[in-house]
Amino acid sequence: MAIVAHLLLDEAFRADREARDIDATVRSGSSGTYDALVRNLSVSGCLVEVQADLVEGDRLSIGVNGLGIVRAIVARREGMAYGLSFLNELSAAEIVEAGRYDTVVSLRPDRGPAFETTMPDPARWSRRRRVSIIAGTAVMGWVGILALVRVTFF
């Protein structure tokens, strides 16, 4: 019985695919963030090529230009291509919008500028430095307030 249900689901899944080449970003809690290419798209899922080691059953999000962020589960793997099943089906209008717009920033160095996204860890600063920053900010705030009061009332 389970085999028949799987075959019916597989037939329904394959029936409405649209071949596409859309830039996307895959975010997986266990693997990280990667640039991806959506090869085909349907209301229930998509096939993406991504240079990541994802595991069947992993929950992730995929950002597709024109769609936004879509939550999905890895349903299958064929080399570096992954079949994703969306947690919420897309509408026909959303499929039309997918890929209409260019992405803003690519994570690939060959496709645009690389931006530094890491912030210095404040816990790594010495206690003296942190206290100095806090005290300096407080003093500058009061100096600003007193200067404003002086200009306004005197």
Digit-coded pLDDT (tens) for 105-114: 444 454 444 4
Buried/exposed 10-41: b ≥16 CB within 10 Å, e otherwise: eeebeeebeebebbbbbebeeeeebbbebebb
Tokens of 25: 């970003």
User: What's the predicted TM-score (pTM) here?
Assistant: 0.57
pLDDT-based confidence at residue 120 (cuts at 50, 70, 90): low
Digit-coded pLDDT (tens) for 25-51: 899 877 788 899 999 999 999 999 999
| CA-closest candidate to residue 77, choices 110, 52, 101 | 52
pLDDT-based confidence at residue 86 (cuts at 50, 70, 90): very high
- Give the CA dihedral 96, 88, 28, 58, nearest 10 degrees: -130
Measured CA to CA in angstroms, residue 21 lies from 8, 27, 33 at distances of: 27, 19, 19
Length of the chain: 154
Q: Cα-flanking dihedrals φ and ψ of residue 152, to 5°?
A: -75, -45
- CATH of the structural domain 2-111, one choice from 3.40.50.1980, 2.40.10.220, 1.10.10.10, 2.40.400.10: 2.40.10.220
| DSSP type of residue 104 | S
Q: Which amino acid is at 61?
A: S
pLDDT-based confidence at residue 97 (cuts at 50, 70, 90): confident
Tokens of 36: 């991806």
